[in-house]
Amino acid sequence: EAGVTQSPTHLIKTRGQQVTLRCSPISGHTSVYWYQQALGLGLQFLLWYDEGEERNRGNFPPRFSGRQFPNYSSELNVNALELEDSALYLCASSFGQGAFYEQYFGPGTRLTVT
Amino acid sequence: AQKVTQAQTEISVVEKEDVTLDCVYETRDTTYYLFWYKQPPSGELVFLIRRNSFDEQNEISGRYSWNFQKSTSSFNFTITASQVVDSAVYFCALSEAGGAGSYQLTFGKGTKLSVIP
């Protein structure tokens, strides 16, 4: 069974540009979570989608947004990129809604903003 | 607010030594879940274990074992007879089951383990 997949693997953007990251969950998983792993800041929760709706967001500005499609895949959009957005963006999926379900992570997208 | 503390930033051990990674958590929920993940140099987080707040039994899986103590709010991870392949960053995480129904993981800062041959 395929795991969580993310694309692209690496991305280099210029400050002020916009970027879209993509995530495909494990088949049968309906919840998708996005996390940011920036140097020195650890892993921070960004967004949570379940059944096509945004269920919760972390302490990030509105220029971080996303959506979940009917097939449960998800996009993370970041507008007006800033240098501090440089990070590894990890997507995770879980079978259902609830703390009980472990989250399985993809390989991440490494974003560099210059 | 929930919080996870991994006080050990980096640990180095010689192969075959035992090593314990510490994790201390804070939560106001009575129902919560604790997790350990491994992040090898490739970057992908690998799920290792989940433990709920009502199950304080220790768990052993091969060379890995976990000690959960609610009295000290700790969920420590021990690797017995460490191997070079164990070199990675290990994260402890917490998810609360109650409240507003937000189930995201709160991670500790991670402990970088280096196993020297």
| pLDDT value for A9 | 96
Look at B104 and A98 and tell me if their CB atoms are within 8 Å.
Answer: no
Segment B8-66, tens digit of pLDDT? 999 999 999 999 999 999 998 888 999 999 999 888 899 999 999 998 888 889 999 99
Q: How far is A49 from chain B (nearest CA, A)?
A: 11
Q: B95, B104 in Cβ contact below 8 A?
A: yes
CA distances from A13 to A21, A85, A107, A112, B38 (A): 12, 10, 20, 6, 29
Closest C-alpha among B82, B84, B88, B46 to residue B62? B82
Mutation choice for A interface testing from B42, B95, B104 by most A CBs within 10 A: B104
CA distances from B4 to A43, A86, A113 (A): 11, 24, 29
Mutation choice for A interface testing from B4, B36, B45, B94 by most A CBs within 10 A: B45
Residue B79 above 80 pLDDT?
Answer: yes
| pLDDT value for B98 | 67
- Nearest residue on chain A to B48, judged by CA atoms? A102
Q: Helix, strand or coil for residue B10?
A: strand
| pLDDT value for B34 | 94
Segment A77-97, tens digit of pLDDT? 999 999 999 999 999 999 877
Look at B110 and A58 and tell me if their CB atoms are within 8 Å.
Answer: no
| pLDDT value for B100 | 58
Length of chain A: 114
Mutation choice for B interface testing from A30, A57, A105 by most B CBs within 10 A: A105
What is the distance between the alpha carbons of residues B47 and A95, in angstroms, rounded to a whole number?
14
Instruction: Tell me, yes or no, if A38 comes closer than 8 A to chain B by beta carbon.
Output: no
Residue A98 above 90 pLDDT?
Answer: no
**Which residues have CB under 8 Å from B99's CB, separation 6+?**
B29
Segment A27-78, tens digit of pLDDT? 999 999 999 999 888 899 999 999 999 999 999 999 999 999 999 999 999 9
User: What is the CA B37 to chain-centroid distance, rounded?
Assistant: 6
Pick B44's closest partner by Cβ from A58, A97, A105.
Answer: A105
Residue B101 above 80 pLDDT?
Answer: no
What is the distance between the alpha carbons of residues A44 and A76, in angstroms, rounded to a whole number?
15
